[in-house]
Amino acid sequence: MSKSRAVAAAAGFALLAGLATACGGGAAKGSATAAFDPATCQGGTLTVLAQQGQGKFDPAELYTSGGGKVPTLVFRTLTTRDHTTGGPDGAKVVPDLATDTGEPSQDATVWTYHLKAGLKFEDGTPIRSADVKYGIERSFAPELPGGPPYLRDWLIGGEQYAGPFKGADLPSIETPDDSTVIFRLTKPEGDFPYLATATQFAPVPRAKDTGTDYQKHPISSGPYVVTSNDNGKSMVLERNPYWTRSIDDQRLACPDKIVYTSGLDSAVINQRLAASSGDDARAVSGDTDIDAGILARLNSDAELRSRVTTGYFGATQYLAFNPTVKPFDNPLVRQAISYAVDRQSVINAVGGSAVAKPATTFLPDQPAFGYTPYDYFPSGPSGDPAKAKELLAQAGYPNGLSITLSHATSQTDIGPAVAAAVQEALGKAGITVKLDPSADDDYGTRTQLPSSEPGFFISGWGADWPSGGPFLAPIFDGRQILTAGGNFNSAQLNDPQVNAEIDAANKLTDPAAAQRAWGQLDAELGKQAWTVPLYHPVYKRLVGKDVKNAYVSQWNGVYDLSRISVK
């Protein structure tokens, strides 16, 4: 995907299929979970098998928020997502270190938080509001890059601030007492409680900060401490003696120890989990979906099938148009391509319906995003070449036309197989498609630079939290067009009305009202055919036979490690 950080983290937001309640006796269909009692879940070692490492395990440098991944075991934040359920409520923001999800001013430009009583770091010292402020300020330091960009854009003075290491503080973060934090923003942001789930909001004690070496042993505010860390490639987490469930109602923290191992081939991960012997019987996949070999075995192997869970990452794969390049400036051409696309062939190209489902909306089909169903160019699963030809004739191309489709060379979701499926479908409508491959890294640079952006290419997007704002604004807000690179507004759309609707939605602090606003905007934008939505990804992941209470988080599409237990 063009937004690699979202995909690398599975960085999205999952909807578990067939899940009952996550605790108090709920059992997940399609997993090895038996009747689960959180009161008796303590003990054992959970192993996490992954392809990717954790990188620099510093809360300032991590790009993650709200989910059940490794960072949430060590870093508590002002808010988090609801860990207590695997259903739709799993996409909601709930208090973590704070007493509530934040108190907004009338125009949502000031947000106030109060810390819970009794919070402590791993060494027993109390967590104060100054520690939260300092943790956020560190994320502005150029020595600690990698976190999300929102704080720099949203906090007053953030654009010029360079961190606290030379003594400067950020006045737009106020701490009037040890339990209160106040944030002053440059503009209304109703989604601020979502942002407050990011690891940048984890408290950091200034006296224990070792700068760029802090990632070797960050000070825990969560249920586990880092006892071993090989540059994020392998890690061992053990219990934090100053954490209790009485001050953290979100994390069960069942295992005594969690061992994270990366650098593994995806096939090896699946083989080890399928065999489920030794420590692998108490292991889960950290970032790997089941492969074709496992899929082929599911119908005939009931035991293996019982250890697979399914989730839907809040993302959309799509065809992107650059209307500054002809003939994509003509809406009839864009509509014709929308009719001609064979979504089923694209889904087959990425592995079939087990790993993808067709999309006709840009927003993912999950309520948290504001999903509003529409299909303005209905063509069924296989496309409508006759309707496409009709529109091409109206556009001045009665004999068809020739275009170029750019794609990456190896990534499955934006690679040759998808490109070939699109090429074949459009050919049936009289559209000759020349394929234009680029190496994966070059492809990202090229498609995200307006001066070099191709007219027609394969792309994808996954939001940083389950809301319409971070899904639609980077793609359609004209003020987020980045001419120097890193641009995701492929249509280079700068419509004052669209920008105003984005601002109006951003002011809303009521989630239901915000969802309606984002859904309405998506429906309006869909009429213009700025993109052709292709599919939403589906994730199927495997666990060892002695893993209990494993479910895929609706927030980010990975197992919620904070709730898992082992036999």
Q: What is the pLDDT of residues 543-563, one digit of tens each?
A: 999 999 988 877 777 788 999
Kindly state the greatest CA–CA separation across the chain: 76
Share of the chain above pLDDT 90, in %: 78
pLDDT in tens, 260-280: 999 999 999 999 999 999 999
Q: Which of 252, 235, 303 is nearest to 49 (CA)?
A: 235
Share of the chain above pLDDT 70, in %: 93
325 with 474, same domain: the answer is yes
The lowest-confidence range among 146-160, 394-408, 413-427 is 146-160
- Indicate the residue among 163, 196, 225 that finishes a domain: 225
The lowest-confidence range among 248-252, 339-343, 438-442 is 438-442
- Whether pLDDT at 21 is above 60: no
The lowest-confidence range among 150-154, 211-215, 343-347, 408-412 is 408-412
Please give the residue range of the domain that contains residue 429. 315-537
406 with 509, same domain: the answer is yes
Measured distance CA(384)–CA(336) in Å, rounded:
9
- What pLDDT does 297 receive? 93
- The mean pLDDT value for 159-166 works out to 95
Q: Which of 383, 437, 448 is nearest to 405 (CA)?
A: 437
Q: Looking at this protein, which amino acid is placed at residue 178?
A: D
Query: How many domains in the chain?
Result: 2
- What pLDDT does 68 receive? 72
- What pLDDT does 35 receive? 60
- Whether pLDDT at 86 is above 80: no
Task: Establish if 27 belongs to a structural domain.
Answer: no
- What pLDDT does 23 receive? 27
Q: Which of 237, 220, 221 is nearest to 229 (CA)?
A: 237
- Whether pLDDT at 376 is above 60: yes
- What pLDDT does 66 receive? 64
Q: In sequence order, what E strands does 99-256 have?
A: 103-104, 110-114, 173-177, 180-184, 224-229, 234-239
The helix (H) or strand (E) run that includes residue 49 is strand 45-49
Task: Establish if 354 belongs to a structural domain.
Answer: yes
Task: Establish if 51 belongs to a structural domain.
Answer: no
- What pLDDT does 319 receive? 98
- Whether pLDDT at 32 is above 80: no
373 with 508, same domain: the answer is yes
- What pLDDT does 2 receive? 36
Cβ 97 vs Cβ 193: under 8 Å = no
- The mean pLDDT value for 1-20 works out to 31
- Per the rule left: phi > 0, alpha: psi between -120 and 50, beta: everything else, 135 is alpha
Task: Establish if 465 belongs to a structural domain.
Answer: yes
- Sequence-distant (≥ 6) Cβ neighbours of residue 373 within 8 angstroms: 360, 361, 365
Task: Establish if 304 belongs to a structural domain.
Answer: no
Average pLDDT value over all residues in the chain = 90
- What pLDDT does 18 receive? 28
Task: Establish if 436 belongs to a structural domain.
Answer: yes
Q: Give phi and psi for 317, each to the nearest 5.
A: -95, 135
Q: 30 pLDDT band (50/70/90 cuts)?
A: very low
Measured distance CA(377)–CA(319) in Å, rounded:
14
Measured distance CA(129)–CA(133) in Å, rounded:
6
For residue 353, what is the domain's CATH number? 3.10.105.10
- Whether pLDDT at 206 is above 60: yes
- Indicate the residue among 196, 225, 254 that finishes a domain: 225
- Whether pLDDT at 73 is above 60: yes
Kindly report whether the peptide bond that precedes residue 327 is cis, defined as omega within 30 degrees of 0: yes
Task: Establish if 404 belongs to a structural domain.
Answer: yes
- What pLDDT does 29 receive? 32
- What pLDDT does 555 receive? 77
- Whether pLDDT at 70 is above 50: yes
Q: Give phi and psi for 447, each to the nearest 5.
A: -75, -15
- Whether pLDDT at 1 is above 70: no
Q: 4 pLDDT band (50/70/90 cuts)?
A: very low
326 with 214, same domain: the answer is no
The lowest-confidence range among 16-30, 177-191, 470-484 is 16-30
Task: Establish if 262 belongs to a structural domain.
Answer: no
First to last CA, the chain: 37
441 with 330, same domain: the answer is yes
Edge to edge, the sheet with strand 257-261 lists 224-229, 234-239, 257-261, 45-49, 283-285
219 with 337, same domain: the answer is no
- Indicate the residue among 209, 225, 241 that finishes a domain: 225
Cβ 93 vs Cβ 193: under 8 Å = yes
90 vs 181, which has greater pLDDT?
181
The pTM assigned to this predicted structure is 0.87
Cβ 331 vs Cβ 499: under 8 Å = no
- The mean pLDDT value for 297-302 works out to 93
The lowest-confidence range among 5-9, 385-389, 441-445, 470-474 is 5-9
208 with 335, same domain: the answer is no
Q: 8 pLDDT band (50/70/90 cuts)?
A: very low
pLDDT in tens, 173-200: 999 999 999 999 999 999 999 999 999 9
For residue 211, what is the domain's CATH number? 3.40.190.10
- What pLDDT does 408 receive? 95
- What pLDDT does 28 receive? 33
479 with 375, same domain: the answer is yes
